[in-house]
Amino acid sequence: MISPHGSEDLKPLYVEEPEVRESLLREAATLPTLQLNSAAAANAVMLAGGYFTPLPGFMNLDDALSVAESMHTRDGLFWPVPIVNRTHDISAIRDARRVALLDPNVPGNPVLAIQTVESIEEIPADVLETMTGQTFGTLDASHPGVTTFTEAGKYLVAGPIEVLNYSYFEKDFPMTFRTAVQIRTAIKANGWNTVVAFQTRNPMHRAHEELCKMAKDAVNADGILIHMLLGKLKKGDIPADVRDAAIRKMVELYFPPNSVMVTGYGFDMLYAGPREAVLHAVFRQNAGCTHLIVGRDHAGVGDYYGPFDAQTIFDTLPDDALEIEIFRADHTAYSKKLNKVVMMRDVPDHSAEDFVMLSGTKVREMLASGEALPEEFARPEVAEILMQYYMAEPVN
């Protein structure tokens, strides 16, 4: 089985032993507290599940800046984006050695983790600008990831963490949320050796379905991991529970039995384009996948990145950066000429009129009005689930 990134074994930071966890919760009641922002809470959940192996916790300023500038920590570990805990107010934790980290996304703000504080540093404005620009490729405040990152707080709290729960993800998505540990275990139990991962924050239409099948055939994979983001999105994105239901219906009806695992992970979308695509590869390798599908404008938003920037960034990485391989996908759509879904790069004789293509706005309008989508574009059973959602929601 493919090795975890930077380690022989996964390093999940969730405290498995109930007695130890109870002891830490008692300790937490005596500690200064820091309420996390949503991004830091998502980082904690990913660290807990082993997805961010081999990181022991939150980076200090030197490592965060080094990662932003060179995609390596100061000691040489390859890593594509800063994994940090930032805050606006350190008055309650200024001299603390141990801090209880509170969950911002669960009512009552329960303790999510305990952090051993190794340093608390103020981020100079020019350093924050460098970290932002290098990570996102832009400083434009209209970029949703840039806004979230720049407003996360001027203090950086570094040090290892011990995570006591998985926030709201286990409770809200019990059939879907899985850790890297659980996915590796399931892959091994299935007897799969070659596994292709598909990243999604959207429902899957016919083109996505066929892309997964194309990739599986191309790399002769034993199985497919459909791995959906369950955390915070931008306004207008479809909620995770609706996506989950639509994807499961598609897999149930249109994939061979026992060929697909439908799972999700607890992370907030960064919209960091190329850098986020590399992060996606890192934690899919940690989950046991040998290949990741990287498509057109992977993890992008708006027009901030070129359509294939998230693929070409992998050409710039050191040869030993990652073991996972990339399946490079072009835009896929249903060909009226060939009566099947194709990658556009494979049919140079086609014009735009030869494809069944609908804009996102048109899809939303059709579903909200109860109008059926073309079967060449979306499976009817999937479209029905999305239609129920959009007919109950105002059109944005």
CA distances from 240 to 40, 200, 272 (A): 20, 10, 20
222-231 pLDDT, tens digit per residue, is 999 999 999 8
pLDDT at position 234, please? Answer: 67
Give the Cβ contact number of residue 71 at 10 Å: 21
287-327 pLDDT, tens digit per residue, is 999 999 999 889 999 999 999 999 999 999 999 999 999 99
pLDDT beyond 90 at 108: yes
Do 227 and 200 contact (CB within 8 A), yes or no? yes
Task: Determine the residue type at 260.
Answer: V
What's the rounded Cα separation, in Å, for the pair 286 and 54? 9
pLDDT beyond 70 at 395: no
Distance of CA 248 to the CA centre of its chain: 19
pLDDT at position 360, please? Answer: 78
Residue 22's pLDDT band (cuts 50, 70, 90): very high
Structural domains of the chain in order of their starting residue, each with its CATH number: 18-167 (3.10.400.10), 175-265+273-391 (3.40.50.620)
127-157 pLDDT, tens digit per residue, is 999 999 999 999 999 999 999 999 999 999 9
- Reading phi first (left if > 0) and then psi (alpha if -120 to 50, else beta), residue 384 is in alpha
What's the rounded Cα separation, in Å, for the pair 247 and 363? 17
List residues with catalytic annotation: 201-202
Would you list the DSSP string of 191-217?
Answer: T-SSEEEEEESS---HHHHHHHHHHHH
pLDDT at position 50, please? Answer: 98
Q: What is the mean pLDDT of residues 94-100?
A: 96
pLDDT at position 311, please? Answer: 97
Q: What is the mean pLDDT of residues 151-179?
A: 96
Average pLDDT over the chain reads 95
Do 278 and 199 contact (CB within 8 A), yes or no? no
Counting residues of the chain whose pLDDT is more than 70, the rounded percentage is: 98
pLDDT at position 394, please? Answer: 61
336-378 pLDDT, tens digit per residue, is 999 999 999 999 999 999 999 888 788 888 988 999 999 999 9
Q: Which helix (H) or strand (E) holds 126?
A: helix 125-136
Give the Cβ contact number of residue 363 at 10 Å: 18
What's the rounded Cα separation, in Å, for the pair 334 and 338? 8
pLDDT at position 263, please? Answer: 97
Distance separating the N- and C-terminal Cα atoms of the chain: 45
Torsion angles phi and psi, residue 110, rounded to 5: -70, 170
As to burial, measured by CB atoms within 10 angstroms (0-12 exposed, 13-18 middle, 19+ buried), residue 186 is middle
Q: What is the mean pLDDT of residues 201-211?
A: 91
* Nearby residues of 253 by Cβ (< 8 Å), 6 or more positions away: 379, 381
CA distances from 370 to 173, 364, 373, 386, 387 (A): 28, 10, 9, 10, 6
Do 99 and 108 contact (CB within 8 A), yes or no? no
pLDDT at position 57, please? Answer: 98
Do 59 and 82 contact (CB within 8 A), yes or no? yes
Q: State pTM to two decimals.
A: 0.94
Q: What is the mean pLDDT of residues 260-270?
A: 95
pLDDT at position 363, please? Answer: 87
